[in-house]
A and B are shown apart, each in its own frame.
Chain A
């Protein structure tokens, strides 16, 4: 197999969200796609008690040659995929840099402190402003709304994977997504996943073009 072309080696991706949003699943699907295209992928993640209603973050290191640390050094993310909007800001604070690209699902999941009234959840326009100011390229989606229309809000994670592929920064495409999904899922769920993927892919293409 020829060595895959990467914009940077290692290329550092963070997928972030809240426990229950299918974050771990999304990182597995994306990393499996990368391995199939000849990359070395290292995923770092934590699950167990750490996922119960808390922030969940997966680090994916993509390289043509070797395994990298399962923890990305601070300030070194190349692409952030946020399935929840304030999680985008949380990750930017630790791993952001002027060159980072970021995809954000704008459906909030309110922390308990916000529900009780002890903490404030920032307004969507404030989140957009901060994310835009802290990144080189940003795209915003309503992935959960799209997924609800498909019958299952958790498919928001696959909408976001579609967007990652649509962004065109990784050596992966729709075909390899389909291969991975068909192998890893019951046949009854494949169509919904392909549909969610297509929605994300189309949405990011429009957004990036509109950006310039």
Chain B
């Protein structure tokens, strides 16, 4: 689903939060947009890429988030409106440049859009990017519904130009990946041309060089800008109060938590007792505006995700103003009224309000609850796993076989992508991958493990990395491993795209975000230029892959690279297309008597392979099977047969 280009100003359409943010940027006349894919942020750049047009809007998937921010900043320095987009931990990657950018300031309006993932629904961290706004001293905006996501993004460009610095817009999964009604505004005509004016003095913000020095002077100027933003925020329409004039309890909230708070108050029918102060400008909070609302109540509950960010600001303000506003009782994260990890929801907020005000949330009827308990044991757990036809299952199968044959207790350092599931879930990866941290950290850790031989470690050290991750952050660590002569086998699991987030382009492909032909940067050539042994293979060729791995383990001595290339089963060229029709030859399948211990269904665990309990034989689920043919290579009785599927 995408924004319909035919629908113009005034049309009311269903948009995902990310599409609403993209629409806001389009309505602001954004000219350059850059980002790195990461759930839940990816749809913003994807949406913008459909509007790309030479001289009007340039969109790119950058190699990583720091480069994306640099690309967007260059546009801003040249007078264009620009946007960079990333998920929460992407801000960490970009933060070194950001620290210097806030000192130099910006020219054309520039936004950083960060989409956080409270509850880590699609992340291996619960990092909170809001703290970067305070750390870097830049304004922070948080939309609390879909219309606001659009309006706020649109307005943020104006704010950026007014204070001549980057503005941060922060969303969360439940905004970015939720959808709601949005009334569209007009798309503006093309804006001006690009020119980097740089012939002025260092002190000239219009024509001088863009640098963060003289540091202390620039820092002072930056703080003036943030004070100006606070003043603007005092009258911002993105801050709003709803509730009684003197509420018994004041909720201060932002983002998706505003919707949870509304719902919780409605569940408890406490509209007459609770007021909700929704802040859209969350750093710095507008002091006079918040103070006015604090004066109207004794009890304050701060509802936010994930850490007590607003809570700390409100408490500082209350301490500074205590003579005028009097003593308050605060509830929130610090006192345990709400949990400080994981995402919130309407039930958690309702329970918190209920405890403070002594109201019991509505309960499930007892008879129904009894029935639920009776049937509770029926539902089997559904663990996540690799898709049918996934090349990673095949790659990890060969790694498992090779490590078992080697017998020295070798292990894999994991990295970020679908293949990370090998560490997270038992059903995937066959217990081979044992570490999982940041993008590129697999090879970085392996570089360290690979130097521990002199301390007596003789375990083979393997690292995996996807194609997109290779360009993002693996290259410096790989260079380090090569240069330090670390004992590492580095497997690049190349599935030809940024598969996990939806097949965004990366530098290894000959096409960019806008669909234009571009030069591709070859992984094998990069590794080869580092002077190490590079082997390429097909993960679906199980025996060859296993043999290559065992050979590389035996050789030892420095870094070896094995590139396993096979497109993702969900890629547009493969999806819903079977290469093979699979079947189990029941005469050949020896069933429980085989002695293989049901290698196919108990160990290999592809969802397309079932075990027919009545017959005691393996069976293909034709609706699920992707027809990759890999399982025919694991059956010792050769009972899993594949034949070429007819071209549909």
Q: Are A and B physically bound partners?
A: yes
Q: Kindly state whether residue B198 has any CB partner on chain A within 8 Å.
A: no
Residue of A40, A54, A70 near B181 (CB, 8 A) is A40
The complex places the Cα of A130 from the Cα of B372 at a distance, in Å, of 9
Contact, CB under 8 Å: B384 / A73: no
Q: How close is A144's CB to chain B, nearest CB, in angstroms?
A: 6
Contact, CB under 8 Å: A117 / B611: yes
Which residues from A are CB-within-8-Å of B179?
28, 31, 41-43
**What residue in chain B is nearest A122 (Cβ atoms)?**
B378
Given A47-B177, A115-B607; A69-B372 close (CB under 8 Å) = no
Contact, CB under 8 Å: B382 / A111: yes
Q: Kindly state whether residue B601 has any CB partner on chain A within 8 Å.
A: yes
Given A42-B179, A70-B259, A116-B605; A97-B383 close (CB under 8 Å) = no
Which residues from A are CB-within-8-Å of B387?
19-20, 52-53
- Among B135-149, those with CB < 8 Å from A are 145-147
Which residues from A are CB-within-8-Å of B382?
18, 53-55, 86-87, 90, 111-113
Query: What's the tally of chain B residues with a CB closer than 8 Å to chain A?
Result: 66
Contact, CB under 8 Å: A86 / B379: yes
Q: Kindly state whether residue A212 has any CB partner on chain B within 8 Å.
A: no
Q: Kindly state whether residue B579 has any CB partner on chain A within 8 Å.
A: no
Residue of B347, B368, B385 near A112 (CB, 8 A) is B385
Which residues from A are CB-within-8-Å of B642?
none
Given A45-B177, A152-B576; A52-B378 close (CB under 8 Å) = no
Residue of A20, A40, A44, A54 near B383 (CB, 8 A) is A54
Q: Kindly state whether residue B517 has any CB partner on chain A within 8 Å.
A: no
Q: Kindly state whether residue A186 has any CB partner on chain B within 8 Å.
A: no
Contact, CB under 8 Å: B383 / A73: no
Contact, CB under 8 Å: B421 / A52: yes
B4-42 vs A: 1/0 string, CB under 8 Å? 100000001110000000000000000000000001100
Which residues from B are CB-within-8-Å of A183?
4
Contact, CB under 8 Å: B122 / A110: no
- Among B487-506, those with CB < 8 Å from A are 500-501
A20-44 vs B: 1/0 string, CB under 8 Å? 1000000010011001000011111
Contact, CB under 8 Å: B14 / A67: no
Which residues from B are CB-within-8-Å of A32?
1, 14
Contact, CB under 8 Å: B378 / A89: yes
Q: How close is A45's CB to chain B, nearest CB, in angstroms?
A: 6
Q: Kindly state whether residue B386 has any CB partner on chain A within 8 Å.
A: yes
Contact, CB under 8 Å: A53 / B368: no
Residue of B40, B347, B386, B418 near A73 (CB, 8 A) is B347
**What residue in chain A is nearest B369 (Cβ atoms)?**
A75
Which residues from A are CB-within-8-Å of B121?
46, 48-50
The complex places the Cα of A107 from the Cα of B382 at a distance, in Å, of 16
Q: How close is B107's CB to chain A, nearest CB, in angstroms?
A: 35
Contact, CB under 8 Å: B607 / A44: no
Q: Kindly state whether residue A127 has any CB partner on chain B within 8 Å.
A: yes
Which residues from B are CB-within-8-Å of A87?
382
Q: Kindly state whether residue B262 has any CB partner on chain A within 8 Å.
A: yes
The complex places the Cα of A65 from the Cα of B636 at a distance, in Å, of 62
Contact, CB under 8 Å: B601 / A98: no
Contact, CB under 8 Å: A53 / B379: no
A67, A97, A111, A148 pick with most chain B CB within 10 angstroms: A67
Contact, CB under 8 Å: B1 / A184: yes
Which residues from B are CB-within-8-Å of A70?
174-175, 178, 256, 259
Contact, CB under 8 Å: A46 / B122: yes
The complex places the Cα of A70 from the Cα of B367 at a distance, in Å, of 28
A51-72 vs B: 1/0 string, CB under 8 Å? 0111100000000000111111
Contact, CB under 8 Å: B418 / A117: no
The complex places the Cα of A54 from the Cα of B372 at a distance, in Å, of 22
Q: Kindly state whether residue B623 has any CB partner on chain A within 8 Å.
A: yes
Contact, CB under 8 Å: B384 / A53: yes
Residue of B12, B174, B379 near A89 (CB, 8 A) is B379
Contact, CB under 8 Å: A115 / B146: no
Which residues from B are CB-within-8-Å of A3?
none
The complex places the Cα of A144 from the Cα of B383 at a distance, in Å, of 22
The complex places the Cα of A198 from the Cα of B42 at a distance, in Å, of 35
Contact, CB under 8 Å: B178 / A44: yes
The complex places the Cα of A120 from the Cα of B637 at a distance, in Å, of 27
The complex places the Cα of A144 from the Cα of B621 at a distance, in Å, of 13
B251-292 vs A: 1/0 string, CB under 8 Å? 000001001101100010000000000000000000000000
Q: Kindly state whether residue B318 has any CB partner on chain A within 8 Å.
A: no
Q: Kindly state whether residue A161 has any CB partner on chain B within 8 Å.
A: no
Contact, CB under 8 Å: A116 / B1: no
B161-176 vs A: 1/0 string, CB under 8 Å? 0000000000001110
Contact, CB under 8 Å: A41 / B180: yes
Contact, CB under 8 Å: A112 / B122: no
Q: Kindly state whether residue B365 has any CB partner on chain A within 8 Å.
A: yes
**What residue in chain A is nearest B384 (Cβ atoms)?**
A54
Contact, CB under 8 Å: B263 / A69: yes
Which residues from B are CB-within-8-Å of A163?
none
Which residues from A are CB-within-8-Å of B173?
46
- Among B584-604, those with CB < 8 Å from A are 598, 601-602
The complex places the Cα of A107 from the Cα of B623 at a distance, in Å, of 10
Contact, CB under 8 Å: A69 / B260: yes
Contact, CB under 8 Å: A40 / B500: no
The complex places the Cα of A119 from the Cα of B611 at a distance, in Å, of 13
Q: How close is B18's CB to chain A, nearest CB, in angstroms?
A: 11
Contact, CB under 8 Å: B376 / A52: no
Contact, CB under 8 Å: A52 / B267: no
Contact, CB under 8 Å: B384 / A49: yes
Contact, CB under 8 Å: B621 / A49: no
Contact, CB under 8 Å: A50 / B122: yes
B355-392 vs A: 1/0 string, CB under 8 Å? 00000000011011001100110111111111100000
The complex places the Cα of A154 from the Cα of B311 at a distance, in Å, of 46
Q: Kindly state whether residue B221 has any CB partner on chain A within 8 Å.
A: no
Q: Kindly state whether residue B445 has any CB partner on chain A within 8 Å.
A: no
The complex places the Cα of A43 from the Cα of B16 at a distance, in Å, of 8
Q: Kindly state whether residue B624 has any CB partner on chain A within 8 Å.
A: yes
The complex places the Cα of A70 from the Cα of B380 at a distance, in Å, of 26
Q: Kindly state whether residue B243 has any CB partner on chain A within 8 Å.
A: no
B435-476 vs A: 1/0 string, CB under 8 Å? 000000000000000000000000000000000000000000
Q: How close is A188's CB to chain B, nearest CB, in angstroms?
A: 13
Q: How close is B132's CB to chain A, nearest CB, in angstroms?
A: 22
Which residues from B are CB-within-8-Å of A53?
382-387, 427, 607
The 3 A-B residue pairs with the shortest CB-CB distance, nearest first, are A48-B122, A48-B39, A70-B178
10 pairs, A vs B, C-beta closer than 8 Å: A18-B382, A42-B146, A42-B179, A44-B178, A49-B384, A50-B384, A53-B387, A74-B347, A110-B607, A122-B380
Sample of 14 more A-B contacts, CB < 8 Å, known A48-B121, A113-B427 = A35-B13, A41-B179, A44-B177, A53-B386, A54-B382, A55-B382, A71-B346, A73-B345, A86-B379, A110-B621, A112-B383, A114-B380, A133-B375, A134-B368
